[in-house]
Amino acid sequence: YENGVVFHLEGAQSEAFNRAGEINRAAHFCGGRMRARINGLKNDYTVSMWFWNGMPDGARNIAGWMFSRDRDHAISPDGDHLGLNGANQLVFKHGPGDPKQGASSVKRWTWNHALLVREGDRVRVYLNGEDKPEIDLQAPATFPAAFNQVFVGGRSDNSNNWEGRLDEVAIYPRALTPVEFKPLTPR
């Protein structure tokens, strides 16, 4: 974890990971990121996370980036980035192009679930367990062999990092099927 992350705040509540009366805890990102290396991460992968946006509505074009797979301190033609725009809609950006946005908006200060599934050149992003993806697009999967850095709570270049909480983040080294990821989403 980098500076700008605080811990032990109240997290998302779900039957999937809480027992009755139990308080789940989350990290609150205030400009810092969590950086990790996942060796062997290839072109197919899945990211599941609960998010709580603390950025005021419309304060900036991108409210914040929640997940990034790219080189540190850069935006490369090969990177994947998941975030929320100023209208509180999910956005996905691959490489240097403009982000593609979802249709649904989420309310500030509420817990929501995002699921990013990359299967080769196809990218789908789901919101709150819906069967239809918010974002469904083709984006070339051209990750170099040593492309193993991921960032949670911010983008690889430290631009518009997440301002809010993230909880129950899981990264799978393959594209999960709907049968497999349904239990991860809100019930």
Which tens digits make up the pLDDT trace of 141-185?
A: 877 766 789 999 999 999 999 999 999 999 999 999 888 887 677
Return the H-helix or E-strand segment holding 181.
Answer: helix 178-181
Residue 164 region, left (φ>0) first, then alpha (ψ -120 to 50), else beta? left
Q: In the predicted model, is pLDDT for residue 187 greater than 70?
A: no
Q: Which tokens is 96 given?
A: 């240097």
pLDDT of 84 strictly over 90: yes
Model confidence band, residue 66 (pLDDT cutoffs 50, 70, 90):
very high
Phi, psi (degrees; rounded to nearest 5) at 178: -55, -35
The reported pLDDT for the residue numbered 177 is: 87
- Contact between residue 116 and residue 93 where contact means Cβ atoms under 8 Å apart: no
Average pLDDT over residues 101-116: 96
State phi, psi for 184 to the nearest 5 degrees. -80, -15
Do the beta carbons of residue 169 and residue 52 sit within 8 Å? no
